[in-house]
Structure 1
Amino acid sequence: MVRKEGGDHIRSWRFMVMLLLILFTFLGAMYVSLSNIRRVVTDFNDPDHVFVYLKLLTTSDNSLPTFYIFISFLGPLLGIALGFDAINSEKNNGTLVRLLAQPVYRDNLLLAKFYAALTIVGVLFLSLVLLMIGAGLLITGVPMEAAELFRILAFVVLSVIYVGFWLSLSIALSVLFKHAATSALTAIGIWLFFTVFYQLIVNMVVRTVLPDPASLAPEQVVIYNNIILSWFRLAPSQLYTDAATTLLMPSVRSLGPLTMEQMAGAIPAPLSFRESLMVVWPQVTGLVAATVVCFAGAYYFFMRREIRT
């Protein structure tokens, strides 16, 4: 079942379109990074200048965003494209009844659709990263350090989890709605809300409810900023961006505002991979929990749904 679902995805036009779109954005981001790599690795004021391969994923000249910014924007579209008609298209075509008439459990069908799409996403991101490593090795001739490899692999896993959230959400919507167009528009609407409107709404509510930060003491300003960040991190894209930034930039020591007392005595040196992983662990846990909740909802409604009518 997994091979069949994976083959259907690979042969579909929508996957081809998303593959070309992600590939073109990747090549554009890598071209910009490789064009500016000499400048960034010789900037000794940057504590991350020694991490050449991480710079390939984070360097930009403001003409194009970096690759992980592209993934935060295109990843949801990839997940939605692979899952918005996972169940309702089978039912509308009349194949769902015939498929479940075989000795196939409902949960195996749902798991196969999720696992096949997630496997394709993982292979896609891993291939792009290996392509980036190969291009960097050919152009710079600098061997990769183990810490860079671990961070890049962790970034790949994080990206797969992020796309997996939108995939599980779109599968849940395909269970709830009868028509594929309805589930697709609902998923895209949720994505647009969190991408475009959510931060605007939070800023408006915070400015209305909380006092002006210019009239607050320094300790209260820190609390004010923490409240805003806590609300921002309810958006999956914010969780992904925070975690990706910390993993790909070892000099990032905190994802929130720091007081002068906390900064006193701090050595401006990159964090180890384990320390960076501890910093982003709440963000990763939040994405995994959101993915599990969406998939559990799809599982619950699909197991209780009547499919013979």
Structure 2
Amino acid sequence: MVAKEATDHIRSWRFIVLLALIILTFFGALYVSFSNIKAAVSNVQDPESVFLYLKLLTTSDGTMPPFHVFLNFLGPLLGIALGFDAINSEQNNGTLIRVMAQPIYRDNLILAKFVSALIIVSYLFSALALLMIGAGVFLTGVLIEPAEILRILGFVLISVVYVGFWLSLSILFSIVFRQTATSALTSIGVWLFFTVFYQIAISLVVKALLPNQPVLTELAVTRYNELIFNLLRLAPSQLYSDATTTLLMPSVRSLGPLTMEQMAGAIPSVLPFKESLMVVWPQVSGLLAATVFCFAMSYYLFMRREIRS
């Protein structure tokens, strides 16, 4: 069943269009990175200049964002496209009751739809990472460091989890709503809310909570900044951005506001992979928890649903 679902995804036009769009943005961002890689690695003041392959994923001259920024925008569309009609299209076409009439367990169907899409996304991101490494070795002749392999692997895994969240959410809507157009619009509406309107809403709420004082103390400013950051991290895109930025930029030591006392005496250096992973572990845990919750709700609703033509 997993192989059949994966084949259906690969042959669908919406997946082919999104695949072409992601590959085009990847090669565009990679071209910009290669054009500016000499200036990026020759800066002796930058502690990250020794990580050539991480620079390929983060370097930009302002004309195009880095690839992980593009993926923050395109990843949800990929997950939604793979899952918004997972169940309701089967029911509308009359094939769901035929499949359930076969000697298979009901949960195998929804598991196959979720796992097959995740396998495709995993192969896609792994292939792009290998293409980037191969192009770097071919054009520069510099071998990749083990620390860079771990960080790129972490970036790929977090990207798969991020797309998996939107996939599980769209599958949930495909079970709740009978019409595929309704489930697609609801999924896209949730994505637009967190991408565009959520930050605006948070800014308005925090401004309303600010006290009417001309000057705020440093402690008050720190508390309000922490409140803003904590509220923004309820958005999956913010969790993904924090996690990928920290893994791909080893010099990032904190994701929250820092006081002058904390910055005093700090020496610019890179963190080991384990320390960077500890910094972003709350973000990774949040994405995993949201993905598991959405899929668990989909599983529960589908198992209790009455299937009829």
How many Å separate the matches in 2 of 1:84 and 1:162? 16
How far apart are 1:157 and its partner, in Å? Answer: 0.1
Equivalent position of 2:107 in the other structure: 107
Structure 1 residues 183-229: Cα deviation after superposition (integer angstroms, max 9, x where no partner): 00000000000000000010011101223686211122111100000
Give every structure 1 segment of 4 or more consecutive aligned residues whose post-TM-superposition deviation is greater than 4 Å.
Answer: none
Equivalent position of 1:184 in the other structure: 184
Equivalent position of 2:43 in the other structure: 43
How many Å separate the matches in 1 of 2:82 and 2:215? 49
How far apart are 1:79 and its partner, in Å? Answer: 0.1
Equivalent position of 2:66 in the other structure: 66
Identity %: 67
Structure 1 residues 2-47: Cα deviation after superposition (integer angstroms, max 9, x where no partner): 0000000001101100000000000100000000000000011211
Q: Is the 8 A contact 1:213 1:221 kept in 2?
A: no
Q: Which amino acid aligns with 1:190?
A: V
Q: Which amino acid aligns with 1:189?
A: G
Q: Which amino acid aligns with 2:102?
A: Q
How far apart are 1:112 and its partner, in Å? Answer: 0.5
How far apart are 1:278 and its partner, in Å? Answer: 0.1
Equivalent position of 2:56 in the other structure: 56
How many Å separate the matches in 1 of 2:243 and 2:149? 16
Equivalent position of 2:224 in the other structure: 224
How many Å separate the matches in 2 of 1:211 and 1:268? 36
How far apart are 1:266 and its partner, in Å? Answer: 2.5
Q: Which amino acid aligns with 1:304?
A: R
Q: Which amino acid aligns with 2:232?
A: F
Q: Is the 8 A contact 1:213 1:224 kept in 2?
A: no
How many Å separate the matches in 1 of 2:212 and 2:253? 28
Q: Which amino acid aligns with 1:237?
A: S
How many Å separate the matches in 2 of 1:23 and 1:213? 51
Equivalent position of 1:97 in the other structure: 97
Equivalent position of 1:194 in the other structure: 194
Q: Which amino acid aligns with 1:272?
A: P
- Tell me whether 216-225 or 157-166 shows the greater mean CA deviation: 216-225
How many Å separate the matches in 1 of 2:215 and 2:232? 23
The DSSP-based 3-state class of the residue aligned with 2:102 is: coil
Correspondence 1:170 to 2:170? yes
Equivalent position of 2:25 in the other structure: 25
How many Å separate the matches in 1 of 2:145 and 2:187? 40
TM norm structure 1: 0.98
How many Å separate the matches in 1 of 2:161 and 2:53? 22
How far apart are 1:141 and its partner, in Å? Answer: 0.8
Segments of 5+ residues of structure 1 without an aligned counterpart are: none
**Is the alpha carbon distance of 1:113 and 1:133 closer, same or farther for their aligned partners in structure 2, counting shifts above 3 Å?**
same
The DSSP-based 3-state class of the residue aligned with 2:285 is: helix
RMSD over aligned CA atoms reads: 1.0
The DSSP-based 3-state class of the residue aligned with 1:215 is: coil
Equivalent position of 1:253 in the other structure: 253
How far apart are 1:267 and its partner, in Å? Answer: 2.4
TM norm structure 2: 0.98
**Is the alpha carbon distance of 1:275 and 1:206 closer, same or farther for their aligned partners in structure 2, counting shifts above 3 Å?**
same
How many Å separate the matches in 1 of 2:268 and 2:300? 49
How many Å separate the matches in 2 of 1:72 and 1:212? 36
The total of aligned residue pairs comes to 309
Q: Is the 8 A contact 1:80 1:187 kept in 2?
A: yes
Equivalent position of 2:159 in the other structure: 159
**Is the alpha carbon distance of 1:203 and 1:100 closer, same or farther for their aligned partners in structure 2, counting shifts above 3 Å?**
same
Structure 1 residues 273-308: Cα deviation after superposition (integer angstroms, max 9, x where no partner): 000000000000000000011001111111111111
**Is the alpha carbon distance of 1:206 and 1:13 closer, same or farther for their aligned partners in structure 2, counting shifts above 3 Å?**
same
- Tell me whether 74-83 or 251-260 shows the greater mean CA deviation: 251-260
The DSSP-based 3-state class of the residue aligned with 1:188 is: helix
How many Å separate the matches in 2 of 1:220 and 1:208? 15
Q: Is the 8 A contact 1:14 1:81 kept in 2?
A: yes
Structure 1 residues 258-283: Cα deviation after superposition (integer angstroms, max 9, x where no partner): 11222233321100000000000000
How many Å separate the matches in 2 of 1:105 and 1:46? 56
How many Å separate the matches in 2 of 1:28 and 1:21? 10
The DSSP-based 3-state class of the residue aligned with 1:72 is: helix
Segments of 5+ residues of structure 2 without an aligned counterpart are: none
